[in-house]
Chains A and B, each alone.
Chain A
Amino acid sequence: SQQGEEDPQALSIQEGENATMNCSYKTSINNLQWYRQNSGRGLVHLILIRSNEREKHSGRLRVTLDTSKKSSSLLITASRAADTASYFCATDAVLNTGFQKLVFGTGTRLLVSP
């Protein structure tokens, strides 16, 4: 059951430019998280935003959440080649056992060229 859909699927920019990725989801959430995955590696948590928050910052990252539109965006400012990775949004969903799992989108592949 895929909840989040990222847009665009792929993004190619130059170093120093800003990168914006969007995520849309289908059902109500308690929070939304963004993860980064470098090629061939595991996922690394970037930021969590709760449903009662509209915007959150962490270093060069800015995340917004619009629960009325069921969408979120991740902005990376002043991109670096090291930001090249896939970025996933993940929302929470409660199983009938009460376990709160993560539901991932298919990701945005970001390529930052020097």
Chain B
Amino acid sequence: NAGVTQTPKFQVLKTGQSMTLQCAQDMNHEYMSWYRQDPGMGLRLIHYSVGAGITDQGEVPNGYNVSRSTTEDFPLRLLSAAPSQTSVYFCASSLLGQGEGRAFFGQGTRLTVV
């Protein structure tokens, strides 16, 4: 019973590099989201998806892309990393919209951009 799995757990990037953060869930949830967690700011929504093929922007989408080709996977792409993207990133999935019911979170990816 894996739940939500994120990889990698840690990553260091140079400014301008690109990378993809992986997220997979095995609960057949339609709703998936990406959040970033910064000190003193709580978690902020980056992008979300309400099902395969359907994605949309959250509060802080600039510099990030997502796609949802399957129900299970929801990768987050950093197009050209910037120091301001240094953060801890969490993927979440839920059966209902995440304000409607319980959300399941991955363990997080700690990203440092130098």
Name A residues whose Cβ lies closer than 8 Å to a Cβ of B. 1-2, 4, 30-31, 33, 35, 40-45, 48, 88, 91-95, 97, 99-107
CB <8 Å contact, A107 and B42: yes
Chain B contacts to A: CB under 8 angstroms:
4, 33, 40-43, 45, 48, 50, 56, 58-59, 90, 92, 96-108
Q: Is the beta-carbon distance between A94 and B99 smaller than 8 angstroms?
A: yes
Q: Are A44 and B105 in contact (CB under 8 A)?
A: yes
Beyond A42-B106, A43-B90, 15 additional contacts (C-beta under 8 Å) are A35-B105, A42-B105, A43-B43, A43-B92, A43-B103, A88-B42, A88-B43, A95-B56, A99-B50, A99-B97, A100-B96, A100-B100, A102-B45, A102-B98, A105-B42
- A31's contact among B4, B42, B99, by CB below 8 Å, is which? B99
Label chain A's interface by main secondary structure: strand
Partner of B98, one of A2, A88, A101: A101
Complex: A80 Cα to B65 Cα, angstroms: 42
| Cβ–Cβ contact B107 & A104, under 8 A | no
A1-B59, A42-B4, A99-B48 given as contacts; is B42 within 8 A of A48 (CB)? no
| Sample (10) of A-B pairs whose CB atoms are under 8 Å apart | A1-B59, A30-B99, A41-B108, A42-B106, A45-B104, A94-B99, A95-B58, A99-B50, A103-B42, A106-B40
